[in-house]
Each structure stands twice: as C-alpha cells, then as structure tokens.
Structure 1
C-alpha cells in the first residue's frame, strides 16, 4: 500500500533575471500569475445532531434536501471500516444519523483547475457529516520493550542514487512541505525545543522557550497588532536553474530574531522585521530537511547532501546532519551515520530535549545525536528499524519490523537520551504507513485500505500510557489535510489542541446565486472520535485551513479572494470566534506571487505579526514572462 508518486500539480514558472539581493518592492507584474479557481462537488457541512434533550437549544434551520445523487458517487456516510485484523468490539449505541444535508451539482463535474493548490486536493464529492460509524479498534495494551528492538534499526538498502531520484520526484510531484507543527514545550526543561510558532513570549521563538504546555493549553500568545494590514518585507528571487533539474531548498524556521531559509548549498538568516540578510552558513550540499523545532539556545538541525551537485545536476546522498546556531549564524558540527558499511540517508530531522533525531523513511534506519554532536544511537541491522521521528515535547518514533513483504509497524514513545521505548502501540498487520500528527498527546494517522490524496484516512488518539482512546475516520475526498508520502513528520493543514483534532473540509459550492466556493474548519473529539459543533466558514470564494495551535486558540490561514489579500486569523478555542491578525496586500502582483508559493503544500510560518512563505523544491519555469520566488515575507505592526 505504498503511495506512488503523483504527477506534478503546478507547472513551474520562469525565474527572475539576476540573483539574490536586498528586499525590494514588488515589481510591476513581477509576482507570478495565479491559476484559475478549482472545481469540484459541493460540500455543505452541517454540525452533527443528536437526539434532542429535555430542553434542547434552538437548532439552525435545515438546508434544502439534496437532489438525486449521481450514479457512481460515494454516499455521505462511510460504508464501514476494516477490522484491522483485531477482534472487533461490539459497537457502542449510536444516535440516529442526521439526514443528508448537501446537494450535488446537476451538471457534469467540471475539469479541475487549480487555485494555487495541488489538483489532488480539489474536486472531491461531499463532506462527511454525522457521527463516525462502524469499526472502533479495541484498546491495546502497550507492549514491553522487546529483545533486539531497542534504539534504532537498520536493514536493506537500495541504490543511493536511485533512492534520491525517487524521493525528489515524489516530493516535487506533491510539492511537499508546509509549516504545520503541533508539539510544544515544558517549562521545566530549559533545553526543551519548541515547535515552530509555539516558541517564546511573543509566539515566534525566544530564550524563554515556553510554549504553554500541551497543544491547546495555556494562554494564547498571538495578539492582533494595531494595524493588521501587512507590508512586503521580503521577495527572495529564485536563482536560474538548468532545464530538467530539480534543486532542493528545503527548510525554514522563524524565531524572535531571525527567519532562516535554506538556499542553494547554504542556510541564510534574515531580519524578520526588514527582510535584510543577517548571515550565511555554508552547507556541504543542498538542504534535504530542517527541524521544525529550535532549542531554547537557538539551535536547529539541517540534513544536507554530502557534496555539491555537478553541472549535470546529479543528486547526492542526503547523509549529512548538521547543528546550526541561529543566533550567531554558525554551523556547530556535521555528522553522518553508517549502516551495512554505507552512509545512511535521511529525509527528516527533529529535536526533542537535547536530542537531534534523523529518520530515513526508507530502509536506512534512524540515528540521533545530542546538540553537542555526541552520537546517541545509530542505525542497526536487525529485524527492526526506525522509519522516522517526530519531536518537540516528546520524541515519538515509527518503527518497522519483519522481513520484506511481511513488515509490521508500531508507534513508540522513546526516551530521547537513549532511544529506548517507554511504550509501544502496534499497528495492525497490512498497514504500511504511519504519520505522527502530534507528539503530546500522541496522535497519528494512516491510510488504512488504499492510497489517498490526504495520506491519512484514519487518525488514532493514544493516552499517556500508549493505549488507544479512539479512532477518527477522515473519509477520503471530504477533508483537505495533507500528509507527505513516505514521511513520518510531515502532515500539514491539520492541528491538535483542546483534546480535539482540527481539519479543513474540501472546497464546495457556497450559498448565493453567483459562483461561490468555500470550505470550513471542523473538529473531532480525541476522546470519542465524534465530530464536535466547531465550524468556521472560510467565507465567499475563500478557503481556510489550520496552521498550528496558539495556546487554546487555532492559528489559521485564509486564502486571498478578489481584491483581498490572504489572512492569518486566530480562532478562539471555545467559541471559534475569528480574530484577524494579518492581511497581505490585495494587489494582483502580490496575490499572484502568493498563489505561486502554494502555501498549503510548502513552508508557511507565522509569529508576532510576521508571515513568511517559502518553497522547498525549485525547477526551471516554462514561461519567460513570469518571476519565481524562493520566499516571501510580510509584516503587520
């Protein structure tokens, strides 16, 4: 059930003439053209309705009944869940399912035309409503550590060059990336890293490193500035790229003092207020990954290729792990790990406590170092290997065991200093993927029965002992989150907080007689798996998705619409009341450039009135009349 690469969703555009330079005003017509709007089936979600209590509150008026459903389209309710190979517990009594409340268009489905987002994320029918029905996986006791399964695993290794090429093709196809981060920090650990955007007293990062405890707890740090109208402070042009080559510029973080963005064979730091370059750190090769977390001392981790590419653009192994000091702009150390006599390759890197852990997503296994460069564990050849890690408040691993074709996965909470497991939650046989959505509480997702665009159709909530609390079904085609292929810590447009899972619905037809597309953010209980009454509508011709938690509030991104800029908003965790924090200029050049950045699928960082958008993969544009950017920055004060 490995997910194959998807075709590229967005044709590249022409890079600007010249190279990097100081920030400048948006050139007339210089920001790339925005694609047209997307099409699809309508989805008009309605909060779930239970049988009325003795004194029921007034219910919202019911929408009109839907017309006859087109032949061959899925129904609004799931048809059941697989039993996952475990004994099935008797289902709990469920209230009657609410009536279907959304309609389909009477005309045939139109071709999908993107509005700055991958085509696989548009045009799916129906929005899921009502209570999730069918299978509930029975709670599983955590298993004790097993002999030969401590630390990290190693194993089979395919050709390094082949692995890198396949990974790059998959990545560019899905335009993977984004800035969705969920874990936060404990105040009693001065070295505890903080998840992106949850750092520091002002929400961007800083020496205090206080993230407010668990996601969705504590006071919100993001406040609306005096003026939410943002100005452009950065337009980082894309360098000229040879034809038929794909370059890596993966990785960015935002702190109180610096916006750090991977360039070509280097990491650059910029002043968040002005966009001016502060320092440059040379790297061994192109950046493959960067930790979303930054330690309280301002240390981040970067995975790079082991050497610079030749003129032909031949890929190099992503085998070097470096620690960088974002305050001084210095590289502290660079290390690699071996498995089967060869250098291990890594696709992801994360920080938890003083531990930097790098995962492969392949058969190389995982490795870890402390922030000073001391090796903590290396990939091991054996029956088990670490696929990848997610850090922040806790270190969680996805581990694979078994022989080829008969592997099983498990989610484990690790001791970040030793790599030994504290508890293990086994994933049912036959499931070959798992994505960590949150590390505290531990929440992970998986595609259970088939490949999907979202990468996670089932989400599992675990308690502090590794026991299953509930399973949440996110039926394919109804929600618009995105978890990277063959990645463990790469889910975007999805957030965990307030003991809830926040997800966006697919865009669907809105109200009114004129053409109108919209979507919502909804939530599910991590205790029961059922939908809550939370519902925030994007508005006319808009789209909204969660970025991260801010204490008990949800930070969300709203796409631009006609003559209106994109917005960062804060959603109150109790009332879902919306507060605007930032709005980009609504000019055509700016909105075109933002569309070209594909915010949902690339790097999106917000903190204290600062919004930065960055690209992960670069390629030569088709058109000579448009300009491409590696990064854009906006500030509202």
Structure 2
C-alpha cells in the first residue's frame, strides 16, 4: 500500500485547514488488497489528489493555496457547513463495493484490494450479518455497505446531490414520519421514566428508578442439564440468560456489555440491567422513558456510563437526551438534552464515546462534550474550518474532523487527539483530500481506517504517539481482511469505536481474513502486521474447517474466538505474539454447542476468567419465540 501523508498540519488543527499531507485511503472489501491513504513524501509540499493510477510513489496532496481547499463555498442549495448526504447511500466506501486499496484499481495505494473487509466481512456497516456469525456481506472493513450503518464521512448525506438530499429532507420534514435517522426536531417531550420491573413496551411514566432486586430476580441460570454431559477438559456453563423483555415487533438492539465490580451490565430497548457475573441473577433494573439510541464502548473507571435516549416515543423522536447511570447501583444520575449547534445540527442519531471523565457527542459536522460525573458541558464545536464529528474513547480521546471544502465529492478529513477536558487538539494528522476517517481499530497503539469513496479504496494506517504516520498496512495480494464494526444504520451520527475482530500490542496489529468457503467447510487465517513497517510478520491458519476471530490480548498473547460450527462448540484460543499454533484457553462444552451456534449475531468477550457470548439483537416472529431468545451465555473453568 502507498504510505499515508507524511506532512502534518500545524498543531491544533483548527482554523483554515493546511494543505493535507499525504492521506491514508482505504479500499473496499471486494478488492484484492486494501489501498492505503496517499501521503506526501517528507520534505515535499502536497502536490494534489492521488493520481487515478498507482503512482511510482505515494500520491501527493495538492499544493497549498489550491482553490479547492480552504474556505470552501457552500454546497449548492444545501444547508451550511457539512452538507448532509443522501440517506440511501451508506457512508464510506459506503455503499458501493469497491476494490480494496490493495486491489487492482490504482488507488492512492495502487491496486484495489478487498477491504480489510473484503468481501464478506462484518462491515462496520457492511452487509447484514449472517445468522450465527454477525458478519456482513461484502464491504469495506469498517465501511458501511449501501443502506448499512452510517459511514464515517462527516458530510451531510454524503455523496448525494443537494437536490436529492433537499428532496429527501423535505419529504421527511413535511410528512413528519420519515425514518428515525432522517428527521427534524419533533418537539416531542420525553415522558419521564418510571420505576418498576414492568417489561411492557409502552413508555414508562415517571422518573427513572431502580428495581434493586433481592438477588433472586430475573437472571436465567443454566439448567443443570447444560452441564450434565460436560466432558473432561470442557468449560462449565456458568449461566444462560433468555430474553425477559416484551419488545416491539421489529425487535431491539442490545448495547454493551459493561463490567464493573462483580456486575455485567447491558442496555436494550427502554431499560438497563445489571447482572451478577457469578450466577446471572439480576441485581438491578433501570427503566427509561424512551428507547436507548446511543451508547459508548466503555464506562468510566468508577463505573459511570452515559447513554443516549430518544426525546420521545414517536418515529420523529430524536436521539438528543443524555442519561448518566451509575452501573454499580443502577441509579440514574443527571439527565440533559444535547445542546444544539445551529439549524443544521441534526440530532436524529448521535455517537457517544467516553475517555476519562468526559463523554463526547458526535454527529455530522457537530460535537459537544460533557463531564460524566456532573453533566457540565466541557466544550463544543471549535472555531475554524475543521469540526470534529466522531470520536473514539478509552485511554485517549481520538476525534475525526471534517474540514469545509468547495467540493463535497473531494472531502478533507483530519485525525486528532484531543485533551478530554478542554477539547484542544494535541496534534493533527491530515490525509490527502478525498480520504475520510472511517474507523479507529485501536486507540493505543493508534490504528485508523481511511476510505476513499470516489476511488472505491480503503487503507489502514498506524500513527505515532505524536500523530505522525507510522506505517500503512500492506496485505499480501489476495488476502482479504475482515472486521466486524456493527450493522446499525446512522446517517447523521458516527461512531469511530466499537469494531471487533482485531487486536493490537505495542508493535503488532492482528486481524483475521474473510472466510474461505472453497472447501468442505469455512476456514480462515489470522495475520500479524508489523506496525513499524506495515508488512505482515506472520500468519496462522485456523484449524481445519474452523474460523478464528481476534478478540484482544490476554497475558501477552493474542486471544481469539474459534467460532462454533454445526457439529462442534466454540472455544477461546491464544497464539503467541511471535506466531504459532492456536492453544486452547477455554473449550466451550459440546452440550451447549447448539445454543452457542444459535446466536443470530453475537459479541464474544473474555473477562475475569469467564467467556461471555452476548446477543447483539433480539427479535422474533412472535412473543413466545421472543422470550425464548438466548441473550447471554457464560462459561467458566
């Protein structure tokens, strides 16, 4: 792959945008290899957008002063800054399936390659997950597929003409019944939440309260039968939980989980519940007045969380209410509406991230940040031409910013590390024009995915602690990388964090390839990339007829989930950072193989010696089946 831009803009990144140094693009999944964002050679000024064909060296950005950069003119007939894109297209390589940056098409990175999510990869918004796997169809790694979850670009209704966008908005605004992600402020006042264990889908009517329970609540422990046939060496079923909430006909997404003390917490529909990690018994339940519509990946170190809740219960309701919750007790803390930054600040959907005691609220061309402990607003949109619109939290606060330009088809993005208290940029990395920040696969070390919609390419770049280009991943031709970044559709909100299927340590990035179904059963391999060079260090094939998915690091080794298949249960395995054969850490019992393989879309985590399998969505054709849906399966040694 070609290298991302090496020149960096002045510290701070705000104000009139500097000419982008080399950018880091990404390719779509269908391409043979991902292309990396083009970068300007060190010491040379950017020379323009990456050439259509792979240049001898990394593509260069346009020289400073180029008319297309800087203070752009407003999009025709469109609202001001951050003109929205049309709903039909998913952001990012969004929508269209393009060859990977490493593929054959000349991209800033030469050939087009299958996106790290080449063909059928769980796209952050890729295609719809396949039953039991949660992997979307062909998409870019981290790039939404058409109609899939929102893309990463900060543009309003990205890549759609002003006329179409205006028309789409007009229909929604006039009809007042458009899709939940494309509506104006409804003016609906959220009903106050009420306490109580009721699971009635109707909105509660009182203040959010907690059902503390007595330890004998609704937790569904595993029946003794689940362990009756356990074989030597197999893990024990700690508990199995089934759905106990009456949901709307369309079902509901499950947010979380979050761990604090001896509790595991999840949110779904209009409630948040905490369960004992030991036996699954419900310790508390907090009812909310409307649907949960946004959630960060992590909570604060002391167990505080901020969720996004809709401001009403109609289709026109916005995701504009923030609710703080103490996960240790289930008590509701402060609640407030997100401050709107002007007429074109769309709050129909938002993205949340927590870093330290700060929660950020991102959406198209706008953002706010609040203190988690007391709800005080810490900072909002900065002055200048570039505005943060999406964030990744955790050990650091990483932002994706969009700079106003005179060409919506040739966007200018930036990656920044922000001070979580002041919002000031510690450094700014600017890719070449046309390359958009799509996902953050790791905050420390920092690994970012970039997409170029026009070129149908993507690239994965590693940045240093000071925001300089460290390397761009260069997969071997034919290797199609895959990552699962979810599947929710959001047009105005964007979330950089939340992708699974990757792992990283100080100097290596681990990622799996797409399933190879050419044999009698699916299989794949895991590839380790050197973050200092971007080149593969080693690859480890999955056991015969099995598929491996990286989960993280455990005891210095790479932790992976070996997915179940029709005649075998799943397992957690590890591989040394130097490569080798997978070694079993926790073998799930064969007796629950059918249950494990029955999760339509799942998230797997290893915490405190326990293996957790969570359902990411609960849905069924009728109420009876709905209450039989397995939502959490936990194993222990």
Q: TM-score, normalised by structure 1?
A: 0.61
Q: 2:240 aligned to 231, 234, 242, which one?
A: 234
Give 1:615 shift.
3.5
| Structure 1 residue aligned with 2:12 | none
Helix, strand or coil at the partner of 1:419: coil
Task: Name 1:422's counterpart in structure 2.
Answer: 426
Cα distance in 1 for residues equivalent to 2:182 and 2:611: 29
Match of 1:356 among 354, 359, 383: 359
The within-5 A match list for 1:217-296 is: 228-237=234-243, 239-243=245-249, 245-296=250-301
Q: How far 1:471 moved relative to its partner?
A: 1.1
Structure 1 residues 356 and 626: alpha-carbon distance in aligned structure 2, compared to 1, 3 A threshold: closer
Residues 525-559 of structure 1: per-residue CA shift (max 9 Å, x gap) = 111111112x2332122111111223532221111
Residue 581 (str. 1) matches residue 585 (str. 2): yes
**Contact between 2:483 and 2:499, CA under 8 Å: does it hold in 1?**
yes
Deviation at 1:304, TM superposition (A): 1.8
Q: What residue number does 2:612 align with?
A: 612
For residue 491 of structure 1, give the secondary structure of its aligned residue in structure 2. Answer: coil
- C-alpha deviation, 1:118, in angstroms: 5.2
**2:513 match:** 505
* Distance across 2 between alignment mates of 1:462 and 1:624: 50
Q: Judge conservation of contact 1:228–1:581 (CA < 8 Å) in 2.
A: no
Q: Counterpart in 2 of 1:85?
A: 49
Shift of 1:631: 1.8
Cα displacement string for residues 439-462 of structure 1 (whole angstroms, at most 9, x for unaligned residues): 22221002235698xxx8311111
Query: Partner residue of 2:133?
Result: 117
Tell me how far apart the structure 2 counterparts of residues 355 and 250 of structure 1 sit (CA, whole Å): 19
1:398 match:
400
Which residue in 2 is equivalent to 1:300? 305
SS of the equivalent of 1:591 reads helix
Q: Which residue of 2 aligns with 1:591?
A: 594
- What residue in structure 2 maps to residue 554 of structure 1? 558
Superimposed CA distance per residue, residues 140-168 of structure 1 (whole angstroms, 9 cap, x where no aligned partner): xxxxxxxxxxxxxxxx9966978863489
| In 2, Cα distance between equivalents of 1:426 and 1:329 | 42
C-alpha distance in structure 2 between counterparts of 1:262 and 1:575, whole Å: 37
Write out per-residue CA displacement over residues 404-423 of structure 1, whole angstroms, 9 at most, x where no aligned residue. 71531100011111000011
Who is 2:629 aligned against? 629
Q: Is the 8 A contact 1:519 1:543 kept in 2?
A: yes
Separation of aligned partners in 2, 1:262 and 1:80: 37
| Preserved CA contact (<8 Å) 2:351 2:362 | yes
2:511 aligned with 1:480: no
C-alpha deviation, 1:435, in angstroms: 1.2
TM-score normalised by L of structure 2: 0.61
Task: Give, in angstroms, the shift of residue 384 of structure 1.
Answer: 3.1
CA distance in 1, matches of 2:421, 2:290: 29
Equivalence map 1:356-375=2 (5 Å): 356-360=359-363, 362-375=364-377
Give the Cα–Cα distance (whole angstroms) in 2 for the partners of residues 80 and 265 of structure 1. Answer: 41
1:433 CA drift (Å): 3.9
Is 1:165 the counterpart of 2:180? The answer is yes
User: Residues of 2 paired with 1:123 and 1:384: CA distance?
Assistant: 28
Asked whether the equivalents of residues 344 and 365 of structure 1 are also in contact (C-alpha less than 8 Å), the reply is no
Conserved 8 A contact 1:235-1:633: yes
Residue in 1 that maps onto 2:504: 496
Considering Cα pairs closer than 8 Å and 6+ residues apart, tell me whether 1 or 2 has the greater RCO: 1
> 1:70 maps to what in 2?
none
1:435 partnered with 2:399? no
SS at match of 1:349: strand
Q: Give the deviation of 1:510 after TM superposition.
A: 7.7
Question: How has the CA–CA distance of structure 1 residues 248 and 78 changed in structure 2, closer, same or farther, with 3 Å as cutoff?
Answer: closer
Distance 1:297 1:451, change over 3 A: farther
Determine the structure 2 residue equivalent to 1:332: 333
Question: 2:546 maps to what in 1?
Answer: 542
Alpha-carbon RMSD = 3.9
Quick check: 1:317 aligned with 2:346?
Answer: no
CA distance in 2 between counterparts of 1:326 and 1:115 reads: 31
Is 1:413–2:377 an aligned residue pair?
no
Q: Secondary structure at the match of 1:250?
A: strand
Alpha-carbon distance in structure 1 between the residues aligned to 2:245 and 2:34: 47
SS at match of 2:317: coil
The aligned counterpart of 2:529 is 524
Segments of structure 2 that go 5 or more residues without pairing to the other structure are 1-28, 40-47, 59-119, 121-127, 141-165, 184-231
State the SS of the aligned residue for 1:554.
strand
1:549-597 CA distances to partner (integer Å, 9 max, x unpaired)? Answer: 235322211111344211122332234453323233323x653454324
Alignment of 1:105-184 (within 5 A): 114=130, 116-117=132-133, 120-121=136-137, 165-166=180-181
Q: How many residues align?
A: 442
Q: How far off its partner does 1:470 sit?
A: 1.2
